[in-house]
Chain A
Amino acid sequence: MNPIPIGRLLRANTTGCALGCKVTQGSTPSFGDMVIIPLTNQNKIYGLVYDIHIDDDGLVNQLAAADISREIIEDNRRNRNVPVEMSVAFIGWEDPQGRVHHTRVPYPPLTLDEIFQCDDEEVRKFTQNGSFGYLRAVLRNPELPVVDLVTAHLRQILAARSGIDAGQALEASLVEVIAMLKDDYPQMMDVLSAVSEIL
């Protein structure tokens, strides 16, 4: 697990959360990355990052107009990174016994001590049972950038697994995606053509 330093939890419910991060260019998770949020009661939530944005910062707007010193530029680049806001869509959770569930999380994070970027091992663990039904929650949510999110997520899965295993996982996930999007031809073609580009 790679810790992502976070500033604060902004909003949370059982389908996702938004948090403010103090991150720099190097440590920011990418769009579509899988993250883990350990809860206080030993459960862990798995999520996908679907939005990363910088809030409007009044001060920065002001500064931009003036002739500013090197130090102030560095200050803004290095220190003033709090207003990165990250939105995470939950895709499943793990109980204290280590069993992975692909259902809606039973309760949202209430206090946020830590959030971690998943490493390859964790990505494999979450997707190991071969069922990709959790994509349902992603595909059906109109607020999410579904096409790009699914593509980025699949890319991460492919990277985390190798050889035949990767091929099987990809196929199983595509079968799931196709089954869910059958009735929505335009979206189906958008998702599949995006995915085709990474294969």
Chain B
Amino acid sequence: MPVNYLELQPQITAMGAETNLRQAELEARLKQCRSLLDQHNDDLIGLQRMVEEAVAQKKILRCAAPVNEPLKTHVPCHLPASPCTILAADGSQIIPSAHESVLFGLINVGVFRIQPGSGNVPSEITNSTLLYGDDLYVNDQPPSEDLIGLLRDVRERQLLAQLAQQEPWPVIALTDGQLELYHQPRNQESYKDKFKDYLKALDDLAVSEVITAGYVSRPRADLVVNMLSLLAGAEPAATEARPFAGISDITLLGSILQPGERSAIFRLQSSSSAEYSGKKALHFFYLNVGTASMPAYARVEMPLWVVEEPESVNLLHSVLVEQARQAGSVPYPYPLIRAHEIAVVRMDERQQLTAMIERELLKRGVDVKRQSEKQFHKGHRARTRRSR
């Protein structure tokens, strides 16, 4: 249905006005935040203790904690990066739908393997898992999108662990997005089960000493800001009272990072920290993969076992910058672009898979119901047709 632009116009005007106000407000906050940053740049011990105390008080906390680098650290990368094997993984899924003719799900994971500087032709690996039968009934219900997403994340890391075992060190295993999974509902058995699998996969990666990292582009996190707001005495979780609400870490730190530079490494403190224990403890740094005129930031998450090896961190840092720049005008690590391409399930592939399943079922005398009417009509608009 058409949008009522007339009705919206005054609202847009109001929005503009409000934004101006907010802008001013934000600038003030930023100024304050910056001064705190300067003030406490070297007070690493003090800040660590502050965070621990907050944890002990069982406050709901999601922030950064310094490790051993001053807050305003910025480290240049060393190019060209040293030789290594990059395994980048991405996944896509088909959510089972009651509207389709057959109930099934799919998890499709793609891995792109490249050895920069070696001259070897990069390769592609695909792993496809069909979800059917019991997979489709979790607590007597078809699985949610979240659960399937979790399954996918698990498969990604499992596949990486599997493949990494066959590679000589050093291996960098990359995925898009956080390493810290964020899927609801957490309390269900199915979730807990899968989460365990995930952690196991991480363990496997640790054992193989794989430099594992999650790459978050356009990061909007405010983890360091939240840490600083503790100094201001505020409850970090309460959004209305937060002193530095609206300021992201990049707003704060971005200008410090020159093209190719990384920020200090921080520990990630969150409600799931307990689960990512030991070597798996999650850390991160910020990275500028852009140019002087066009900075492009990313947040790179990695587990403790990587942080403990400065060589690994340097390698990871350099490789990411190098690979991101290969992508041209919109910097993003090339291997992750390709992994995504490999993983993606197109509409016609989905149709083909559906047809294959239908064929198999029909062959066995199973009555395949037709598409639901709603789906049929939705499909009409989506599909393209040849002209005759």
List residues of A whose CB falls within 8 A of some B CB.
8-13, 15-18, 40, 59, 62-72, 74-75, 78-80, 110-112, 143
Other A-B pairs, 9, CB within 8 Å; known A12-B386, A64-B328, A79-B124: A8-B349, A13-B385, A62-B327, A65-B328, A71-B114, A72-B326, A74-B120, A75-B121, A111-B355
Let me know if B329 and A78 touch, CB within 8 A.
Answer: no
Let me know if A71 and B122 touch, CB within 8 A.
Answer: yes
Q: List 18 A-B contacts (CB under 8 A).
A: A9-B348, A11-B386, A12-B386, A13-B388, A62-B329, A67-B326, A71-B115, A71-B119, A71-B120, A71-B121, A72-B114, A72-B334, A74-B121, A75-B122, A78-B121, A79-B122, A80-B338, A111-B356
- Residue of B119, B122, B329 most packed against chain A (CB within 10 A): B122
Whether B325 is near chain A, meaning CB under 8 Å from some CB there, is yes
Closest to A65 in B: B328
Query: Which one of B117, B118, B326, B338 contacts A66 once the chains associate, using CB atoms below 8 Å?
Result: B326
Closest to B118 in A: A71
CB contact list, B328-345 vs A, under 8 A? 328-330, 334, 337-338, 341
A80 to B110, CA, bound (A): 13
Let me know if B386 and A13 touch, CB within 8 A.
Answer: yes
A70 and B359 in contact (CB under 8 A), knowing A62-B328, A64-B328, A65-B329?
no
Main secondary structure of the interface of B (DSSP, over half): loop
Let me know if A110 and B114 touch, CB within 8 A.
Answer: no
Count chain B residues whose beta carbon lies closer than 8 angstroms to a beta carbon of A. Answer: 33
A74 to B118, CA, bound (A): 11
- Within the complex, what minimum Cβ distance (angstroms) separates A154 from chain B? 25
A59 contact set on B, CB distance < 8 A: 327, 337, 341
Let me know if B352 and A63 touch, CB within 8 A.
Answer: no
Whether B123 is near chain A, meaning CB under 8 Å from some CB there, is yes
B117 contact set on A, CB distance < 8 A: 69, 71
- Within the complex, what minimum Cβ distance (angstroms) separates B295 from chain A? 17
List the 9 shortest-distance A-B pairs measured between CB atoms, nearest first.
A62-B328, A66-B328, A75-B122, A74-B121, A11-B386, A111-B355, A8-B348, A65-B328, A78-B121
A16 to B385, CA, bound (A): 12
A47 to B118, CA, bound (A): 43
Whether B246 is near chain A, meaning CB under 8 Å from some CB there, is no
A111 to B338, CA, bound (A): 26
Closest to A60 in B: B328
Closest to A66 in B: B328
List residues of B whose CB falls within 8 A of some A CB.
114-124, 325-330, 334, 337-338, 341, 346, 348-349, 352, 355-356, 359, 384-388
Closest to B115 in A: A71
Closest to B122 in A: A75
A65 to B388, CA, bound (A): 39
- Within the complex, what minimum Cβ distance (angstroms) separates A198 from chain B? 30
A8 to B387, CA, bound (A): 19
Closest to B383 in A: A11
B346 contact set on A, CB distance < 8 A: 8
A65 to B341, CA, bound (A): 20
Closest to A108 in B: B386
- Within the complex, what minimum Cβ distance (angstroms) separates B325 from chain A? 7
- Within the complex, what minimum Cβ distance (angstroms) separates A134 from chain B? 17
- Residue of B120, B359, B386, B388 most packed against chain A (CB within 10 A): B386
A54 to B321, CA, bound (A): 30
Let me know if A70 and B352 touch, CB within 8 A.
Answer: no
Let me know if A9 and B120 touch, CB within 8 A.
Answer: no
- Residue of A64, A75, A80 most packed against chain B (CB within 10 A): A75
A65 to B337, CA, bound (A): 16
Let me know if B119 and A70 touch, CB within 8 A.
Answer: yes
- Within the complex, what minimum Cβ distance (angstroms) separates A40 from chain B? 7
Let me know if B355 and A79 touch, CB within 8 A.
Answer: no
- Within the complex, what minimum Cβ distance (angstroms) separates A47 from chain B? 14
Closest to B114 in A: A71
Let me know if A110 and B341 touch, CB within 8 A.
Answer: no
B334 contact set on A, CB distance < 8 A: 72
Let me know if B352 and A111 touch, CB within 8 A.
Answer: yes
Let me know if A112 and B327 touch, CB within 8 A.
Answer: no
Let me know if B122 and A63 touch, CB within 8 A.
Answer: no
Let me know if A11 and B385 touch, CB within 8 A.
Answer: yes
A40 and B329 in contact (CB under 8 A), knowing A10-B348, A75-B121?
no
Let me know if A11 and B384 touch, CB within 8 A.
Answer: yes
A70 contact set on B, CB distance < 8 A: 119
B330 contact set on A, CB distance < 8 A: 62
Let me know if A63 and B384 touch, CB within 8 A.
Answer: no
Let me know if A74 and B122 touch, CB within 8 A.
Answer: yes
A8 and B352 in contact (CB under 8 A), knowing A16-B386, A64-B328, A75-B338?
yes
- Residue of A11, A59, A65, A69 most packed against chain B (CB within 10 A): A69
A80 contact set on B, CB distance < 8 A: 338, 341
A15 and B388 in contact (CB under 8 A), knowing A8-B352, A110-B355?
yes
B355 contact set on A, CB distance < 8 A: 110-111
Let me know if B352 and A112 touch, CB within 8 A.
Answer: yes
- Within the complex, what minimum Cβ distance (angstroms) separates A107 from chain B? 14
